[in-house]
Structure 1
Amino acid sequence: MKAVQVMSYGAADVLRVNDVDRPAPRAGEVLVAVEASSVNGHDVIVRAGELKMVSGRRFPIGTGLDFAGTVAATGADVAGYRVGDRVWGMVHPRQRHSVAGAAEYVVVSADRIAHAPADLSSVEAAALVVAGSTALIALRDSVRIKAGERVLVRGAAGGVGTAAVQLAHAMGGHVTALARDRHAELLTDLGADEVLDYRSTTSDRIGPFDVIVDTVGTELHCYRRRLTKGGRMVTVALSPSALAAIAVSSVHSSRRIRTFSANPETPVLRDVAGQVDSGALRPVVDSVYPLADIAAAHQAFERGGVVGKHVVTVPRSSL
């Protein structure tokens, strides 16, 4: 089968589409015939060598954190899935994989997948696995948003940002989206009550907010000051500067900056599917690339300016 692998740490041109043996599921595992995978920040920083403590120095390394496709086979002791079922899921972000989601087939533990929403194509589903899960965990579990609260979403046009705007709106928040002004129409349609251009809006001129969801990772200390008493802030962008701001904020009790590493298992994936089924959440796809052009998808991600997600498809003819 074909699988995209990192052959050495570096820029996007270290990615190769290699011929590898198709894996077989063991007990408790599922083999998924992948139809689509998205490009995530995790994929890019692993490829660049910024997570060597996790990925190690043995090559090749698989890429593609998430996937959507159909069940091709199940190992022993797997219940609830049959061959042909449409599923979505995610490989474990803190484990090394020689083959991951950007491949014709991937093997994962059955507790890392769920049935995909019936009304989504595989491209649309792949765009929501990480983005939807991250936004849901951030709002529901990390900052515990309440109806009527004022919410700021930084980086609102990205994958997690577009999902956070929708979910915050669905949960009763008054949503301010910080993005480029050219994305105002889309973000308003997704549920934002106000859209501000981040290039001309400084932190000291907005707010205060009860909840801040950050996907950018810069100037966190400035935005933390815009929290109300008892306000909560969470960031999903773990840059060195973000980690420093998180550490400093820990002395501020409830106004500390929260963070987490999204690692959704079946219950969260089911909850995201429920949000899709209820109409509260829909995918936003920026562009679609064939598997052979995954390097171009990584390059587009790194250039920034994305609206939603870059998705990589696995041609059905190759399965």
Structure 2
Amino acid sequence: MKAVQVMSFGTADVLRVNDVDCPAPRAGEVLVSVEASSVNGHDVIVRSGGLKMVSGRRFPIGVGLDFAGTVAATGDGAEGYRVGDRVWGMVHPRQRHPVAGAAEYVVVSADRISHAPADLSPVEAASLVVAGSTALIALRDSVHLTAGERVLVRGAAGGVGTAAVQLAHAMGGHVTALARDRHADILTGLGADEVLDYGSTTSDQIGAFDVIVDTVGMELHCYRNRLAKGGRMVTVGLSPSALAAIAASSVHGSRRIRTFSANPETPGLRVLADHVTSGALRPVVDKVYPLADIAAAHRAFERGGVVGKHVVTVPRSSV
């Protein structure tokens, strides 16, 4: 079968679509025939060598945190799934995977998938696994958004940003999106009450917010200063400067900068599916690439300036 792997750390040029043996599920595992996988910041960091503590230095290393497809086989004890079931899920972000989501087949523990929403295509489903889960955990579990609160979503046009705008709106927040001005109409359509152009709006020109969701990871201390009394801020855009700002903010009590690594299992994926089914969350896909062009998808992700997600489609295999 085909699988995207890296044989050394570096730019998108190190990505290879290799021929590998098709894995077989062990007890408690499921073999998924992958139809789509999205590009996430985690994938880029692993590829670049920024997560050596997780990936190690042994190659090959698989690429692709999330996936959507159908069940191809189940191991003993993998309850609740039958061959042909449409599923979505993600590999464990804190483990090394020689084969990950950007492959024709992937084996995962059954507790890392759930049935995908029936109304979503594989491309749409793959676009929401990591982005939707991250936004949901940020708003629900990290900053505990309540109805009527003022929310700023920074980097609102990206994958996590578009999901956060929608979910914050569905949870009753008054949502301000900070993004490129040309994305204003799209973000308003997703539920933003106001859109500010980040190119012409500095942190000291915006009002006070009860909740700030940051996906950028820079100038965090400037935006933390825009929190109202009792305000909460969470960032998912990690960088060396972000980690320093998070550490420095720890003395500020509730107004500290929070962060986390999204790692949803079956229950969390089911809740995410409920939000899709209710209409609170819908996919936003910027561009779709074939598996052979995954390097181009990584380059486009790193350039930024898109709305939503880059998704890679995986051809059906005869394995």
Structure 1 residue 317: deviation in Å? Answer: 5.5
Structure 1 residue 7: deviation in Å? Answer: 1.1
Could you tell me how far apart the structure 2 residues matched to 1:62 and 1:141 are?
30
Residue 285 of structure 2 aligns to which amino acid in structure 1?
A: V
The question of whether the paired residues in 1 share the 8 Å contact of 2:104 and 2:316 is answered with no
Aligned to 1:15: 15
Aligned to 1:205: 205
- Describe the SS at the equivalent of 2:92: coil
- Describe the SS at the equivalent of 2:69: strand
Residue 219 of structure 1 aligns to which amino acid in structure 2?
A: E
TM-score, length basis structure 1: 0.99
Could you tell me how far apart the structure 2 residues matched to 1:123 and 1:78 are?
25
Q: Any idea what the Cα deviations from partners look like across 1:31-76, whole Å, max 9, x if unmatched?
A: 0000000000000011011111111111110000000000000000
Could you tell me how far apart the structure 1 residues matched to 2:97 and 2:172 are?
39
Q: Does 2:273 match 1:273? A: yes
Aligned to 1:161: 161
Could you tell me how far apart the structure 2 residues matched to 1:292 and 1:250 are?
44
Aligned to 1:143: 143
Aligned to 1:105: 105
Residue 15 of structure 1 aligns to which amino acid in structure 2?
A: L
Could you tell me how far apart the structure 2 residues matched to 1:24 and 1:316 are?
17
Could you tell me how far apart the structure 1 residues matched to 2:275 and 2:205 are?
33
Aligned pairs (5 A) from 1:17-166: 17-166=17-166
Structure 1 residue 318: deviation in Å? Answer: 5.6
Could you tell me how far apart the structure 1 residues matched to 2:314 and 2:90 are?
16
Could you tell me how far apart the structure 2 residues matched to 1:48 and 1:79 are?
37
Aligned to 2:193: 193
Could you tell me how far apart the structure 1 residues matched to 2:301 and 2:318 are?
25
- Describe the SS at the equivalent of 2:8: coil
Structure 1 residue 316: deviation in Å? Answer: 2.3
Structure 1 residue 238: deviation in Å? Answer: 1.1
CA RMSD, aligned part only?
Answer: 0.7
TM-score, length basis structure 2: 0.99
Q: Does 2:288 match 1:288? A: yes
Could you tell me how far apart the structure 2 residues matched to 1:148 and 1:169 are?
10
Could you tell me how far apart the structure 1 residues matched to 2:12 and 2:79 are?
39
Aligned to 1:220: 220
Gaps of 5+ in 2: none
- Describe the SS at the equivalent of 1:316: coil
Structure 1 residue 88: deviation in Å? Answer: 0.2
- Describe the SS at the equivalent of 2:210: strand
Could you tell me how far apart the structure 1 residues matched to 2:168 and 2:186 are?
15
Could you tell me how far apart the structure 2 residues matched to 1:57 and 1:245 are?
29
- Describe the SS at the equivalent of 2:37: strand
Aligned pairs, number:
319
Q: Any idea what the Cα deviations from partners look like across 1:99-134, whole Å, max 9, x if unmatched?
A: 000000000000000000000000000000000000
Residue 256 of structure 2 aligns to which amino acid in structure 1?
A: R
Q: Any idea what the Cα deviations from partners look like across 1:171-204, whole Å, max 9, x if unmatched?
A: 0000000000000000000000000000100111
Q: Any idea what the Cα deviations from partners look like across 1:248-281, whole Å, max 9, x if unmatched?
A: 0000000000000001101111011000000000
CA spacing shift, 1:85–1:65, aligned 2, 3 Å: same
Gaps of 5+ in 1: none
Aligned pairs (5 A) from 1:229-268: 229-268=229-268
Residue 13 of structure 2 aligns to which amino acid in structure 1?
A: D
Could you tell me how far apart the structure 2 residues matched to 1:98 and 1:14 are?
15
The question of whether the paired residues in 1 share the 8 Å contact of 2:104 and 2:317 is answered with no
CA spacing shift, 1:90–1:317, aligned 2, 3 Å: closer
Could you tell me how far apart the structure 1 residues matched to 2:300 and 2:211 are?
30
Runs of 4+ displaced beyond 2 Å: 316-319
